[in-house]
Amino acid sequence: MASNPMKTRSNNSFFLGMLVMLIIAGIAIAGIIFYFNNSKTGVGTKSKDGKTTQLVYKLTRNVASGEEITLADLVPEEINTEITADKLVNSTSFQGQMELETGTMVDERFIAKIALPSGTVVTTDMLALRDNTVTTSGGAVTYKPDLRLQEYNMIQLPSNLQPGNYVDIRFRLSDGQDFIVVSKKQVMETTQNAIWIVLDESEIMLMSNAIVESYILGSSLLYATTYTEPGLQAQASHTYLPSTAVINAISKDPNITVTARNALVAEFNSDTNTDRPIRSTINGYISSANEEALSAIQEKITESQTKAAEERANFLSGM
């Protein structure tokens, strides 16, 4: 049977059209693949040498050790770097804090721990909060010598607590009275049972006092509570008043600066201190504690030491 020339031409045209479409589609797909393989420059993109594209902040001027650094001294730039994002300074590092006395917003104030030349990529370990510094008689700014990273494993922690959160450590009595021991402390690290926060010498003594008293008063609770908006919320005032013995110890502690020591002792001993009835309440509970409650102190200390040993073992196994 003779083929229909019109039908043959129609089939040829159809197949030719399909072939052309496939070629065009192939070129388009190849172009898209080439584009994505050669134009990935966004933040977080890893290069062949293992470096990652990160948004960093570089200094626009030379900064001396102890000199203040503000966001105005920095310029953002995307670069390939081995520095991880959690070590880099960003715009939120200078997020405003609410000043308790005035209720107005003020920026976080940082100083350089070391001399930094212009063009330096600024990382968090190069900076210190000005609140954690003191000015010497000669005008030099130095880091507070009594700051320490403290580990606590006897505090009840929020189930969703994360490093970077800000917390108050509070002491609750069995009758519902609730006191702030230390306030607005940044959580440097946390595990299931432990928390690490930076405290000065007087705060360490306050915490130690509260811990021992929580051991004596078995129905009391030492716990942490989280700030919901730390950048907008002012630091709470501490309401826990330590024992007379601890106040006396603070007054003689050479590790606390004279100015801070005198201010604390004056505050604790002031007749106008509205927290003084708190001490009377706690003393009343302690004086009525029986021998069993007092003997529980050693048991609690042993329990704390066991937890600390477990945390140390976990740390070493992860190294």
Give the model's confidence band at 103: pLDDT under 50 very low, under 70 low, under 90 confident, else very high. Answer: very low
**Residues 190, 171: Cα–Cα separation, whole Å:** 20
Mean pLDDT of 22-41: 62
Evaluate if residue 138 carries a pLDDT over 80: no
Residue predicted with more confidence, 146 or 52: 52
Give the model's confidence band at 273: pLDDT under 50 very low, under 70 low, under 90 confident, else very high. Answer: low
Residue predicted with more confidence, 288 or 155: 155
Mean pLDDT of 280-308: 75
Give the model's confidence band at 230: pLDDT under 50 very low, under 70 low, under 90 confident, else very high. Answer: confident
Closest CA to 124 of 146, 91, 93, 153: 93
Give the model's confidence band at 12: pLDDT under 50 very low, under 70 low, under 90 confident, else very high. Answer: low
Domain segments of the chain: what residues? 52-141, 148-317
Evaluate if residue 193 carries a pLDDT over 80: yes
Q: Domain 52-141, what fold?
A: Type Iii Antifreeze Protein Isoform Hplc 12 (3.90.1210)
Mean pLDDT of 33-40: 52
What radius of gyration do the chain's Cα atoms show? 31
- Please, what is the end-to-end C-alpha distance for the chain in angstroms? 84
**Residues 191, 136: Cα–Cα separation, whole Å:** 37
3-state SS track over 16-51? HHHHHHHHHHHHHHHHHHHHHHHCCCCCCCECCCCC
Q: Among the ranges 11-20, 114-123, 293-302, which has the highest mean pLDDT value?
A: 114-123
3-state SS track over the chain? CCCCHHHHHHHHHHHHHHHHHHHHHHHHHHHHHHHHHHCCCCCCCECCCCCEEEEEEEECCCECCCCEECHHHEEEEEEEECCCHHHECCHHHHCCEECCCCCCEECCCEEECCCECCCCECEHHHEEEHHHEEECCCCCEEECCCCEEEEECCCECCCCCCCCCEEEEEEECCCCCEEEEEEEEECCEECCCCEEEEECHHHHHHHHHHHHHHHHCCCCEEEEEECCCCCCCCCCCCCCCCCHHHHHHHHHCCCCCHHHHHHHHHHHHCCCCCCHHHHHHHHHHHHCCCHHHHHHHHHHHHHHHHHHHHHHHHHHHCC
Give the model's confidence band at 186: pLDDT under 50 very low, under 70 low, under 90 confident, else very high. Answer: confident
**Residues 131, 109: Cα–Cα separation, whole Å:** 8
Residue 272's CB: how many other CB atoms inside 10 A? 6
- Per the CB < 8 A criterion, the answer to whether 113 and 92 are in contact is no
Which range has the worst mean pLDDT, 3-7, 125-129, 291-295?
3-7
> To which residue do tokens 């010598």 refer?
145
pLDDT of amino acid 143:
55
pTM, two decimals, is 0.57
pLDDT of amino acid 137:
46
Residue predicted with more confidence, 39 or 119: 119
pLDDT of amino acid 286:
76
Mean pLDDT of 292-317: 77
Task: Give me the residues paired with residue 76 across strands.
Answer: 57
pLDDT digit string (tens) for 82-102? 888 878 887 666 655 444 444
